[in-house]
Structure 1
Amino acid sequence: MVRPQSAAEFDKKKVVAENRRARFDYAIEQVFEAGIALQGTEVKSLRFGEGTIAESYAEVNGGEVWLINANIPEFSHGNRFNHEPKRPRKLLLNWREINKLHAGVARQGMTLVPLSVYFNSRGRAKVELALAKGKKAHDKRESIKERDWKRDKQRLLKDRG
């Protein structure tokens, strides 16, 4: 794959995979941007827009953060050096961020949920990771009511004006 000549072509972040269900199932407390350690064929698969993080989560083990159960399918033109699709992948954060995540998970019973995987303006693969609390069923119903009310309100304002 040919890399763009200038950084102007990469001015936006290119979202590869998004966990849309996470914002509905979890109350997002804090969001972190983490690098992700990938093999060559994994990067190529992501650049082709393949990969899902719908069932994935992150965990802190031994002072490192790992992305578990993220599916990046094998590269179609990869040879015997192709990667394993659901292998654990190391997330790259500094130690202060890792300590915050560990404290949130250990003490407050929170969960580390990946929100999206994207390429930043420099062409590096990044994961948007959220420290979140699971919502109860009544909280989810409240979110649905609020979303429906906003939609109805927009319709009413559109019809008036």
Structure 2
Amino acid sequence: MRKTLFIITLACCCLNINAQEFKYYNFKSSCNKDTTEYLYKNFVQQKSYFVNKKLKEFLKYYEKDFEVGTANVGTTSPYIDPEGKEYVSHIDIFWNGYDSWTFLFENHRDWFTTIYITFKSPYTLEEEQFYERIPDGKFTESMKAHLLDYFIIQDIEIYGKYAKK
């Protein structure tokens, strides 16, 4: 029995050590300027590195090659909360800003790739509280994403025409 527990513990430790390694793939040289390939190689194939880490760790690598063009904050359903509240549960990050959405929808839908990050529950920040934290004046989408820096990542997926499943 002790040997079995030792082997299971050793295997778990080896898996955790492997999950902590991250190999960064450069957008221009390693991914041939292919947005979906870049997102897939860095964040989906290696999501075990980011799971259980804060969003700021993800943004540190993402912002090496892209700025956050659009950050859509997602919430839980108000129907599952007894008081009808919505809580921040995930974020969609797009490399392009709102100003280029129309052009992409009309001409290059396959360039429209997003990364979808789900946060660990329990969700504690209400949607209304989140938007109250956004200051008036000039505010970028990157700043909006960074308001969630301390949220813990549960899962990372990409969506787009050529997203690999």
TM-score (norm. length: structure 2): 0.24
User: Could you say which structure has the greater relative contact order, defined with CA pairs below 8 angstroms and 6 or more residues apart?
Assistant: 1
